[in-house]
Amino acid sequence: MYDVKSKKAEEFIDHEEILDTLSYADANKNNEEVINAIIEKAKKRKGLNHREASVLLACELEEKNQEIYKLAEQIKLDFYGNRIVMFAPLYLSNYCVNGCTYCPYHLKNKHITRKKLTQEEIKNEVIALQDMGHKRLALEAGEDPMHNPMEYILECIQTIYSIKHKNGAIRRVNVNIAATTVENYRKLKEAGIGTYILFQETYHKESYLTLHPTGPKHDYCYHTEAMDRAMEGGIDDVGLGVLFGLDKYRYEFAGLLMHAEHLEATYGVGPHTISVPRLRNADDIDIRTFTNGISDEIFAKIVACIRISVPYTGMIVSTRESKECREKVLRLGISQVSGASKTSVGGYAHPEEEEENSEQFDVSDKRTLDEVVKWLMELGYLPSFCTACYREGRTGDRFMELCKSQQIQNCCHPNALMTLKEFLVDYASNSTKKIGDQMIEKELAKIPSEKVRQIVLEHIEAIENGTGNDFRF
């Protein structure tokens, strides 16, 4: 029985409820009256439930689809302005005891190079990342209680935060590691992590069991209930995601929104972010053997429908996607992108030799961070290296309050400008700096409060003169 507030995976992600939702969406995908009513509701910017959103995703009326895209663009602008938050993944270890059929880290893969970073190697990776200009990381690791126990992850987090190289600093460490216990989530919270990210991979239980045939990740309920345990452990910024390409995208989309509704209904705070990874080729993984791949068009529609369904939830797209695809989905709702990512273990400090292969998957966007930042600004976006919210204790519902109180223009926007300025002064090429400085001058005018604008101006001057940095509201 479907129960949004239940703590049992199979009740808040109820299979029958998803099937009913998909039938309802099919029955109404050409019903203009129903679709109009849902679009009108979405215009109120309070979001949509999984049933309503599924109708829009299924909608076949071209004119209505264009309205959906337009609304997604408008909501994106209203909630996030032109800011795009930057981050990079950092792979700690690819030792893994699971048997995931889509991931080259699976236990039976004997020809992948297994690596686990020492604290000294982490230091080198972090310096390489700081020297590009990164301030925010997402830690990645395979699941292996022997090689990568929680103590190892906690030690890595401590090392990362401690490294100060020139003006560099990693100011926010998000963590994307396997589902774990309440006690371990508490330890991660105490270590000062930002968001705990865990992709569901697929919400379809039967497929999940086949795709994860062996290892602790085989336990569908333990994996699906991970965010509940994370919340119980005090982590109130959690990031959801499914790996598109594993099962039918409409099923995954409904499941993803039901998961978001469950968190909101149970803990009063929805997911902080939603990621939209798509399956990629990798060492011994050939995506042609998976039959549920989605086109760029469907991918864009998924992003637009998520955007209008959960306006307060940030949306992340990685370098799995090409420059062209990223450009399209940035407009429709993405608020965070990675840049210059390496999915190999140790790959930032030491690019891998040909015979080594510790990568998790092939990245599509291989540009440098400077190129990505410049490209974003040329498209009119404001790249932001801001990490202020969680450092100021604005997590969970306190972050949501900031969004709802319309203070974003007086808070996030200035923080974006000041952190972009740091990037321009410390790491950018001359041509990027030139475009960036022009952009900052133009964007300063958008700060509503005269007083805040004056403070930001002073801070920006201090950054330029080298007399101060790390300012934040």
Size of the site for ligand SAM (CB under 6 A): 21
Segment lying near ligand SAM (by CB under 6 A), choices 6-14, 35-43, 276-284, 385-393: 276-284
Q: Which amino acid is at 352?
A: E
Sign of the CA dihedral with 20 first, then 25, 31, and 34 last: positive
Q: Candidates 97, 122, 230, 285: give the one binding ligand SAM (CB under 6 A).
A: 285
199 neighbors 161 (Cβ within 8 angstroms):
no
Q: Candidates 67, 140, 321, 370: give the one binding ligand SAM (CB under 6 A).
A: 140
Tokens 């990675």 correspond to what residue?
Answer: 338
Smallest distance from ligand SAM to CB 337, Å: 16
The answer for residues whose C-beta is within 8 angstroms of residue 306's C-beta and 6 or more apart is 53, 253, 256, 257, 274, 276, 313, 315, 333
Smallest distance from ligand SAM to CB 203, Å: 13
Smallest distance from ligand SAM to CB 226, Å: 9
Length reported for the chain: 473
Provide the mask over 205-244, with x wherever binding to ligand SAM is found by CB under 6 A and - wherever it is not.
Answer: ------------x-------------------------x-
Per-residue DSSP letter, 247: S
Residue 90 or 425 with smaller CB distance to ligand SAM: 90
The answer for residues whose C-beta is within 8 angstroms of residue 25's C-beta and 6 or more apart is 51, 54, 55, 57, 58, 250
Q: Which amino acid is at 160?
A: I
Residue 61 or 287 with smaller CB distance to ligand SAM: 287
Residue 102 or 381 with smaller CB distance to ligand SAM: 102
Segment lying near ligand SAM (by CB under 6 A), choices 7-15, 40-48, 139-147, 377-385: 139-147
Residue 187 or 413 with smaller CB distance to ligand SAM: 187
Closest to 417 in 3D by CA, of 75, 45, 83, 166: 83
| DSSP helix/strand/coil, 138 | strand
* 271 binds ligand SAM per the rule CB under 6 A: no
Residue 25 or 226 with smaller CB distance to ligand SAM: 226
Dist. CA 436–CA 427, nearest whole Å: 12
Q: Candidates 48, 56, 68, 282: give the one binding ligand SAM (CB under 6 A).
A: 282
Q: Candidates 85, 129, 178, 306: give the one binding ligand SAM (CB under 6 A).
A: 178
C-alpha distances out from residue 159 to 58, 112, 142, 163, 325, Å: 47, 27, 19, 7, 35
Residue 337 or 389 with smaller CB distance to ligand SAM: 337
* 142 binds ligand SAM per the rule CB under 6 A: yes
Dist. CA 151–CA 157, nearest whole Å: 10
Q: Which ranges constitute the DSSP H helices of 357-449?
A: 369-378, 388-391, 396-404, 408-426, 430-444
* 280 binds ligand SAM per the rule CB under 6 A: yes
* 193 binds ligand SAM per the rule CB under 6 A: no
Smallest distance from ligand SAM to CB 169, Å: 24
Provide the mask over 80-109, with x wherever binding to ligand SAM is found by CB under 6 A and - wherever it is not.
Answer: ----------------------xx------
Smallest distance from ligand SAM to CB 295, Å: 17
* 172 binds ligand SAM per the rule CB under 6 A: no
Closest to 204 in 3D by CA, of 259, 148, 268, 284: 259
Segment lying near ligand SAM (by CB under 6 A), choices 77-85, 195-203, 410-418, 455-463: 195-203
* 436 binds ligand SAM per the rule CB under 6 A: no
* 157 binds ligand SAM per the rule CB under 6 A: no
* 361 binds ligand SAM per the rule CB under 6 A: yes
Write the DSSP string, 9-43: HHHHT-HHHHHHHHHHHHHHTT-HHHHHHHHHHHH
Segment lying near ligand SAM (by CB under 6 A), choices 52-60, 140-148, 296-304, 452-460: 140-148
Strands 273-275, 238-241: parallel, antiparallel or unpaired by DSSP?
parallel
Q: Which residues of 237-248 are buried (b: 16+ CB within 10 A; e: fewer)?
A: bbbbbbbbbbbb
| DSSP helix/strand/coil, 143 | coil
Q: Candidates 320, 413, 421, 459: give the one binding ligand SAM (CB under 6 A).
A: 320
Beta strand extents in 3-153 (DSSP E only)? 83-93, 136-141
Q: Which residues of this chain interact with ligand SAM, rule CB under 6 A?
A: 102-103, 140, 142-143, 176-178, 198-199, 201, 217, 243, 277, 279-280, 282, 285, 320, 360-361
